[in-house]
Amino acid sequence: MGGSSRRARLERPMSEQHITPRAKDYAQWYQDVIAAAQLAEPANVVRGCMVVRPHGWAIWEKLQAELDRRFKETGHQNAAFPLLIPLSFLQKEAQHATGFAMECAVVTHAGLRNVDGKIELKGELEEPYVVRPTSETIIGHFFSKWIDSYRDLPMLLNQWCNVMRWELRTRLFLRTGEFWWQEGHTAHASHQEAMEEVMRMLDVYREVYHDVLAVPVIRGRKTANERFAGALETFCVEAMMQDGKSLQGATSHDLGQNFGKAFNVTFQNKEGVRDFVWQTSWGSSTRMIGALIMAHSDDGGLVLPPKLAPIHVAIVPIWKSDAEKAQVLEASDKLARELRADGLSVKLDDRDAMRPGEKYYEWERKGVPVRLEVGPRDVASGTAMAKTRISDSKDKVKLPFDEIGVHVGKLLDQVQRTLFERALAFRQSNLTKVDAWSDFEAVFAEQGSKFVLAHWDGTTETELAIKEATKATIRCIPLSDEGLDDGPGKCVKTLKPSAQRVLFAKNY
């Protein structure tokens, strides 16, 4: 992410920000869109971390609200747990500790002291603390204190927090050392109840991706090689980006009784017998912002689905004289108040120092779904010129001032719907079934990437051999109701029996 030229580009004023075309350099285009929209930037003073700027954080707040409402509707409560986790806690679940070992940041000292003007570490801790990479272990500890009877179950908790994973190669929103997320943690009296929770939350994620982000996803089960460390099974939603690669959008884990046994989380069941609880965990993060950027944005900058846009409407008043200015601003202010009364977020851009074209340019790059232009003729006719972010530059429509909220609302609904339909059509045109190994190799040798449904013999050995040969990984084993499987067949690599097709793709 470094390099003086890239840092210079990120620090330029928005008016001078150049966006590399997607077809020329997709990775650089992604970084340029983030910079031009002022979403985030590298925190160069802290290795591998990012600063999320107000426009980017506003998107995350709207995502939080959409998810949080759904979590609470399904009976979950929010809680907060410590950022620092005793190292001994991770050691209690060996598979989990091994899975996160290389990503852990560890606190070994507390306090500083000044020695002849030089600041040194003071006291070494008796036990090191791991900066939270995820919270299964510390929550397991508190579950053991809070759960004693079947009457205490199910326990349904969620935490909104930041986590630290010491990544070597980083990319804004997609993979950074520190990121923000939610992590759900639940405990149940039976494996069946736990599995119902796993699938319920997976469907919540799908709903948010489809209805809010306007990004179609495929639900599926991860292979043993891709499974969350310490889980019996991991389920996920996978989304296709505009370069054909896959992005894992969220995960939901069946933890079985592994953490219950590690932390002695037991309960007395209805028969009076003590048993270990069955646990789940599930999470989504600021990676979702990366998903919507790469699924919808274009060479002009950020494109936001209206349900996540911090600003729904930008009103740009146009005038030449002081008399026109007063008239136009009065009408524009009235429109803004009416739109806000209808529940929309509105920016009335009355800055004197910028020409209308510069304002158009800024709001386009920030992804504002609808722009209204109001000049003296518009005031006289009682109409405003409207343009959506996804329409052609010359494709504008007249909207009457009367019931302006209704008319703008219809435009916003149209943008939301069109973004999903466009993304779904793109995925369908770039998803293919492959049976021959030579055809499989040919697909992933191409410049771009695709989703490939192919048979696999179920072994990790074959999975890794395919990855080594093509850089394609098994993103998931699609659930049956995704409608992507056509029954058993022969493995695309080994020709051994295969129970069903799985989803292959190159991935982020």
- The tens place of each residue's pLDDT in the chain, 508 residues long, gives 344 344 334 334 444 679 999 999 999 999 999 999 999 999 999 989 999 999 999 999 999 999 999 999 999 999 999 999 999 998 887 777 787 888 899 999 999 999 999 999 999 999 999 999 999 999 999 999 999 999 999 999 999 999 999 887 889 999 999 999 999 999 999 999 999 999 999 999 999 999 999 999 999 999 999 999 999 999 999 999 999 999 999 999 999 999 999 999 999 999 999 999 999 999 999 999 999 999 999 999 999 999 999 999 999 999 999 999 999 999 999 999 999 999 999 999 999 989 999 999 999 999 999 999 999 999 999 999 999 999 987 889 999 999 999 999 999 999 999 999 999 999 999 999 999 999 999 999 987 789 999 999 999 999 999 999 999 999 999 999 999 989 999 999 999 999 999 999 999 9
What is this structure's pTM? 0.94
Instruction: Give CA–CA dist 209/217, Å, rounded.
Output: 7
Instruction: Give CA–CA dist 280/185, Å, rounded.
Output: 6
Residue 147 belongs to what H/E stretch? none
- Does 137 lie in the same domain as 71? yes
Residue 321 belongs to what H/E stretch? none
In a domain, 108, yes or no: no
Query: For position 5, what pLDDT does the model report?
Result: 41
Query: For position 400, what pLDDT does the model report?
Result: 97
- Strand, helix or coil for residue 229: coil
Instruction: Give CA–CA dist 407/396, Å, rounded.
Output: 13
Q: How far is CA 127 from CA 96, 255, 396, in A?
A: 19, 27, 64
Query: For position 9, what pLDDT does the model report?
Result: 41
- Does 162 lie in the same domain as 212? yes
- Does 181 lie in the same domain as 250? yes
DSSP letter assigned to residue 233:
E
- Strand, helix or coil for residue 386: strand
In a domain, 383, yes or no: yes
Instruction: Give CA–CA dist 207/362, Å, rounded.
Output: 31
CB 9 within 8 A of CB 32: yes
3-state helix, strand, coil in the chain (%, to 5): 40, 30, 30
CA atoms within 13 A on the CB side of 169: 1
In a domain, 99, yes or no: no
Structure tokens at 444: 């992933």
Instruction: Give CA–CA dist 415/296, Å, rounded.
Output: 11
Nearest to 241 by CA among 209, 268, 196, 211: 209
Instruction: Give CA–CA dist 409/414, Å, rounded.
Output: 9
CB 10 within 8 A of CB 19: no
Instruction: Give CA–CA dist 292/174, Å, rounded.
Output: 11
Find where tokens 């505009």 sit. 242
Residue 228 belongs to what H/E stretch? none
CATH, residue 224:
3.30.930.10
Query: For position 250, what pLDDT does the model report?
Result: 98
Instruction: Give CA–CA dist 229/259, Å, rounded.
Output: 11
Find where tokens 């929309």 sit. 344
CB 177 within 8 A of CB 167: yes
- Tell me which residue range forms the domain holding 328: 306-426
- Does 289 lie in the same domain as 356? no
Instruction: Give CA–CA dist 132/108, Å, rounded.
Output: 14
In a domain, 229, yes or no: yes
Counting DSSP H helices and E strands in the chain, the numbers are 15, 25
In a domain, 266, yes or no: yes
Domain end among 399, 426, 453 = 426
Total domains in the chain come to 3
Instruction: Give CA–CA dist 461/422, Å, rounded.
Output: 37
In a domain, 495, yes or no: yes
CB 318 within 8 A of CB 331: no
Query: For position 207, what pLDDT does the model report?
Result: 98
Find where tokens 């202010």 sit. 333
In a domain, 117, yes or no: no
Instruction: Give CA–CA dist 455/495, Å, rounded.
Output: 9
- Does 491 lie in the same domain as 420? no
Domain end among 426, 456, 485 = 426
